[in-house]
Amino acid sequence: MKREIMRSANFAHDAAEYILQRARDTLATRETFRIALSGGNTPRPVYEEMAKAGAAMRWDRWLVTFGDERCVPPDDAQSNFRMARESLLAPAGVADQAVLRMRGEIDPPHAAHEYEERLDLIAAENDEAIYRHDLLLLGLGDDGHTASLFPESTALSEGERRVVANFSPSMQNWRITFTYPLINAAREVCFLVNNRKHADLVERVLAGDTRYPAARVQPGDGQITWILGT
């Protein structure tokens, strides 16, 4: 596993450029760029920059998934899909059929199974044992969670499933989330983190302190990139 750490005083711009360049690199050799978007607040300005800077991007060759979703309808202010649609998907003109939305509005285990089956079908069509993202974006929560893999939650010990419903003890609510098997199958994982908020936590995660779920993201034959806003 290769690791790269980028520190940036122009976080949104630099992260956006990095992601767009990874898309160009991938599309130079493969038909589709498979990206998983992260949720929360940090990525919004990055996605807005991507939409602005990506006029020449072949968005029609992107396949967009979500690392996790809150169990709310897609038009809810808390929805990660809504945030991505407003900041990137709509402004960039990414077609609906290129976006695999987690249905947060239905029963969480059903939504997780449904999503997992969609990814498994694409993997099978491409003779892959598991769906491989080209670039899987992640954030970092105050408690060291990533996606919706929260400390002391059952999904942390999931070693087979790719997508599960997970109850967050700290937030006292359900989420749908990628598991470590799916995350660690990615060709590249990229953490987007506002380091001003998390500097000491980032150091502990980078040191491999597995008390923090983010520290257990270890893409076997992939790369981990950290883009830290300073």
Residue 66 in contact with residue 104, Cβ under 8 Å? no
Which range binds ligand 6PG by CB under 6 A, 36-44, 96-104, 113-121, 126-134? 36-44
Inter-axis angle of helices 43-53 and 11-27, to 10 degrees?
A: 60
As measured in angstroms, the least distance from the Cβ of 62 to ligand 6PG is 19
Measured between its terminal Cα atoms, the distance across the chain in Å is 25
User: Residue 179 interacts with ligand 6PG (CB under 6 A)?
Assistant: no
C-alpha span between 145 and 140 (Å, rounded): 6
The token duo for 147 is: 């996606």
Pairing state between β 173-178 and 68-70: antiparallel
The token duo for 153 is: 């939650």
The residues in 49-68 that bind ligand 6PG, with binding defined as CB under 6 A, are: 67-68
Residue from 42, 166, 179, 195 binding ligand 6PG (CB under 6 A): 42
Nearer to ligand 6PG (CB atom), residue 26 or residue 146: 146
Residue from 54, 104, 141, 222 binding ligand 6PG (CB under 6 A): 141
Residue from 50, 147, 224, 227 binding ligand 6PG (CB under 6 A): 147
As measured in angstroms, the least distance from the Cβ of 140 to ligand 6PG is 6
> Residue 11: what are its φ and ψ, rounded to 5°?
-55, -55
Residue from 29, 41, 157, 172 binding ligand 6PG (CB under 6 A): 41
Residue from 26, 87, 146, 179 binding ligand 6PG (CB under 6 A): 146
As measured in angstroms, the least distance from the Cβ of 30 to ligand 6PG is 26
C-alpha span between 148 and 138 (Å, rounded): 10
Q: Which residue is nearest to ligand 6PG (CB)?
A: 139
Nearer to ligand 6PG (CB atom), residue 108 or residue 141: 141
Looking at residue 185, its amino acid is A
Nearer to ligand 6PG (CB atom), residue 26 or residue 148: 148
Residue 179 in contact with residue 214, Cβ under 8 Å? no
C-alpha span between 28 and 40 (Å, rounded): 30
The residues in 76-105 that bind ligand 6PG, with binding defined as CB under 6 A, are: 80
Nearer to ligand 6PG (CB atom), residue 40 or residue 181: 40
The footprint of ligand 6PG on this chain (CB under 6 A) covers a number of residues equal to 14
C-alpha span between 67 and 92 (Å, rounded): 20
**Partner residues linked to 136 by β-bridges:** 36, 189
Kindly list the residues in this chain that would bind ligand 6PG in the complex (CB under 6 A): 38-42, 67-68, 80, 139-141, 145-147
